[in-house]
């Protein structure tokens, strides 16, 4: 029996001798390398030296382009972090200054996070392109490498769909500033205070102290109770036969006193509280509504203070609350 010997297939990755021969044989269609060969009067060793110089030039250009890209990204990030105030139309108080400071810090954190992601992407794209160009210059076939990377990318994409979904959702969440650390949010699955935000998960702590880890890709809606400002309001039910103008005037005095209180006006309340008037009416009671715009997450504190002051004012005027 005769065995047919199969010819040995050439290795797709050349050895060092093949690399040297390939670089010394010529520059092919590379205009840069050919220009260097011309500078050396087309000597025998010119293609090898020209190839080395071309590779060094490619690496240097890649490093310079990477530095320029990172500098541009940093400049854009700094400009985004120093955005304009959204409370410019409100009366300037310590409260509005606090809102501006909070928003500026959040804007800065969001911009820095996105800048870090963009810098990494720019580095990968630029240096990856440079490496492929150098490999091609070394006569190493990059087609099998690109094919392998493409197949690996498809496999990872199918195996990590949820992970990719979480990362994309996290990037858009940071870019749009949907919420940040310290915000009280409602994600549907849990309600609580944000303790940490990453590109993959959001960590919440609810009122009972439980910690929730929610993947960003599973969050379809977010209710943020701490962004910009909050509103505190209370309903005051009085008897149906109560004097409406008198009750309204009494509530206005209460709101004016609260607005004049330095402890609240300068650090908690953003605008002067308002008495909306009759909110509801029935055969047994008339309900007035009092509202106040506050700093984020301060609405409960202001509402409690309003209830105390309204109760004291109604007791002093001899007006009973309806059942």
Task: Find out whether 219 and 188 touch, Cβ atoms under 8 Å.
Answer: yes
Region of poorest pLDDT, from 46-60, 177-191, 280-294, 309-323: 46-60
The CA-atom distances, in angstroms, between 24 and each of 29, 44, 48, 57, 78 are 14, 8, 4, 18, 48
As a whole number of angstroms, the distance between CA 107 and CA 321 comes to: 46
The mean pLDDT value for 214-225 works out to 89
pLDDT for 55 equals 82
More confident residue, 201 or 109: 201
Q: What band does 1 get if pLDDT is binned at 50, 70 and 90?
A: very low
Q: What is the pLDDT of residue 29?
A: 58
Top pLDDT among 86 and 319 is at 319
Report how many helices (DSSP H) and strands (DSSP E) the chain contains, helices first. 9, 8
Q: Has residue 16 got a pLDDT over 80?
A: no
Which tens digit of pLDDT belongs to each residue from 284-321? 899 999 999 888 878 889 999 999 999 999 999 998 88
Confidence (pTM):
0.54
How deeply is 252 buried, as exposed, middle or buried, from its count of CB atoms within 10 A (0-12, 13-18, 19+)? Answer: middle
Average pLDDT over every residue of 93-113: 63
Q: Mean pLDDT throughout 160-170?
A: 84
Dihedral, CA of residue 60, residue 64, residue 65 and residue 67, to nearest 10: 140
| Domains of the chain, residue spans | 16-159, 167-224, 230-317
Closest to 217 measured CA to CA, from 162, 267, 261: 162
DSSP-derived letter for residue 9 is: P
The tokens describing 171, both together, are: 């990037």
Tell me, yes or no, if the two domains 167-224 and 230-317 fold the same way.
Answer: no
| Radius of gyration, CA atoms only, the chain | 34
Distances (CA, A) of 308 to 236, 251, 291, 303: 12, 12, 14, 9
Sole residue written with tokens 């149906």: 240
Q: What one-character-per-residue DSSP string does 121-188 give?
A: HHHHHHHHHHHHHHHHHTT---HHHHHHHHHHHHHHHHHTHHHHHHHHHHHHHHHHT---TT-EEE-S
CA atoms within 13 A on the CB side of 99: 28
Half-sphere exposure of 49 (CA within 13 A, CB side): 12
The position carrying tokens 């205009």 is: 31
Alpha carbons within 13 angstroms on the beta-carbon side of residue 97 total 6
* pLDDT exceeds cutoff 60 at 96: no
> pLDDT at residue 84 above 60?
no
Please give the class, per CATH, of domain 167-224: mainly beta
Cβ–Cβ < 8 Å for 182, 197: no
Closest Cα partner for 323 from 233, 240, 232?
240
* Rounded Cα–Cα distance for residues 147 and 130 (Å): 18
Which CATH code, of 3.30.70.100, 3.40.50.2300, 3.60.150.10, 3.10.20.30, is assigned to 230-317? 3.30.70.100
Q: In which band, very low, low, confident or very high, does the pLDDT at 69 lie, cut at 50, 70 and 90?
A: very high
pLDDT above 90 for 68: yes
The SS3 of residue 278 is strand
């Amino acid at each position: 029996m005769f065995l047919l010997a199969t010819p040995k297939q050439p290795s797709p990755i050349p050895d060092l001798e093949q690399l040297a021969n390939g670089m010394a044989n010529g520059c092919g269609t590379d205009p840069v390398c050919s220009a260097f060969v011309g500078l050396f009067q087309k000597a025998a060793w010119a293609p090898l030296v020209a190839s080395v110089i071309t590779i060094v030039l490619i690496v240097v250009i890649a490093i310079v382009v990477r530095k320029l890209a990172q500098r541009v990204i940093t400049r854009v990030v700094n400009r985004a972090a120093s955005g304009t105030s959204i409370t410019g139309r409100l009366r300037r108080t310590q409260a509005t200054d606090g809102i501006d400071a909070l928003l500026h810090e959040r804007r800065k954190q969001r911009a820095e996070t996105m800048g870090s992601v963009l810098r990494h992407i720019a580095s990968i794209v630029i240096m990856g392109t440079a490496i492929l160009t150098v490999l091609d210059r070394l006569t190493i076939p990059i087609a099998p490498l690109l094919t392998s990377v493409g197949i690996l990318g498809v496999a990872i994409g199918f195996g990590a769909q949820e992970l990719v979904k979480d990362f994309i959702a996290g990037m858009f969440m940071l870019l749009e500033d949907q919420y940040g650390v310290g915000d009280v949010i409602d994600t549907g699955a849990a309600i609580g205070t944000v303790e940490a935000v990453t590109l993959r998960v959001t960590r919440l702590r609810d009122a009972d102290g439980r910690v929730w880890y929610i993947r960003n890709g599973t969050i379809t809606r977010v209710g943020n109770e701490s962004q910009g400002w909050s509103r505190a309001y209370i309903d005051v039910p009085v008897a149906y036969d109560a004097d409406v103008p008198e009750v309204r005037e009494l509530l206005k005095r209460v709101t004016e006193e609260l607005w004049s209180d330095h402890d609240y006006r300068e650090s908690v309340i953003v605008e002067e509280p308002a008495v909306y008037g009759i909110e509801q009416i029935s055969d047994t009671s008339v309900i007035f509504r009092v509202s106040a715009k506050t700093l984020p997450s301060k609405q409960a504190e202001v509402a409690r203070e309003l209830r105390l002051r309204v109760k004291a004012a109604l007791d002093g005027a001899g007006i009973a609350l309806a059942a």
